[in-house]
A and B are shown apart, each in its own frame.
Chain A
Amino acid sequence: MKVTTLELKPNKAVLKIENTKPYFVNSLRRIMLSELPKLAIEDVIIYDNTTPLFDEIIAHRLGMIPLPTDLKLLTFRDQCTCKGKGCPNCTVRYTLSKEGEGVVYSGDLQPEEKSWAIKEDKIPIVELTKDQRLILEVEAILGRGKDHAKWQAVQAPAYKYYPIIEIDHKKCDLCKKCIEECPKNILEIKNKKLSVKDIEKCTLCRTCMDVCEKNAITVRGDENKFIFRFETDGSLTAKEALLESASILEKKYEELGKLLKKLK
């Protein structure tokens, strides 16, 4: 297997994965969605709330805020030595105290330690008018996407077959219909020949094939080569998310291998 990075930003990655099969890329995608751990607010202790929103709605809004996650420092609460009581190894605490007028933003959640400060600090939670106030304390714990969407660090991981566009230059009469119809504008005429500008942009829609009266174009997907793209919500970087997902997948395969050996 060969993996090439086509694009790598803090919150976004596009990869080219070669010499593999769809089941493997799909298992990586599913690990990212449901198994990758992430920090999110789970318990909310409300001391005062005179805002127009109910306690439960505020708690739900708080739960969806992406919190910076350091997987090396944290363990799952149910696996922690504190036995679920909530200690610094498994729980991150924030406090919020604000009085109107103004908007309560995610950045108003004050962490116990500065390293846990929320990066996405402009997410509105509730608007306060004069004399309204919100005082609360929250506990954030590690969780997995399969338990609740708030613990889903990766958004929209998807893969597609690597496109293969074959042009029969003997049949092509340079009518330019395919160039006009292509929704991604990836076809052009270069040196009096129809050619492809950026093959990775092709969505395999086959519009060019349909409009070509001479049947000069063939579009198909390479079943051993994929373009895999995903974005994170900011709690983990794209690189961290990918490496952690790969290591989870590796552990799962190892576990399966051990179980299969026992069968013999």
Chain B
Amino acid sequence: MTRYKCGLCKKPVQFDVKNIGMQCPYCGSKVFYKERPTIAKRIKAR
């Protein structure tokens, strides 16, 4: 299961990666943002 944030109602939702036809259970929106993983990301300032 992967965590997403609904683009319309901003509520967190979970879907299987293989899921086809994702829809928000709260508002019915089909636009989602994938949430950033909580691990630290190390990059070079170049």
Q: Which residues of A contact B (CB under 8 A)?
A: 40-50, 55-56, 59-60, 62-63, 138, 148, 150
Contacts and interface: CB of A to CB of B under 8 A. Distances in A.
A62 B36 contact: no
A63 B40 contact: no
Interface of B: 36, 40-46
A16 B41 CA distance: 50
A191 B11 CA distance: 86
Nearest to A65: B45
Contacts of A62: 45
Nearest to B10: A131
A41 B44 CA distance: 9
A48 B44 contact: no
Contacts of A40: 45
A108 B15 CA distance: 38
Contacts of A45: 40-42
Nearest to B41: A46
Contact of B36 (A48, A59, A150): A48
Contacts of A43: 42-45
Contacts of A41: 45
Contacts of B42: 43-46
30 contacts: A40-B45, A41-B45, A42-B44, A43-B42, A43-B43, A43-B44, A43-B45, A44-B42, A44-B43, A44-B44, A44-B45, A45-B40, A45-B41, A45-B42, A46-B40, A46-B41, A46-B42, A46-B43, A49-B36, A50-B36, A56-B43, A59-B44, A59-B45, A60-B45, A60-B46, A62-B45, A63-B46, A148-B46, A150-B45, A150-B46
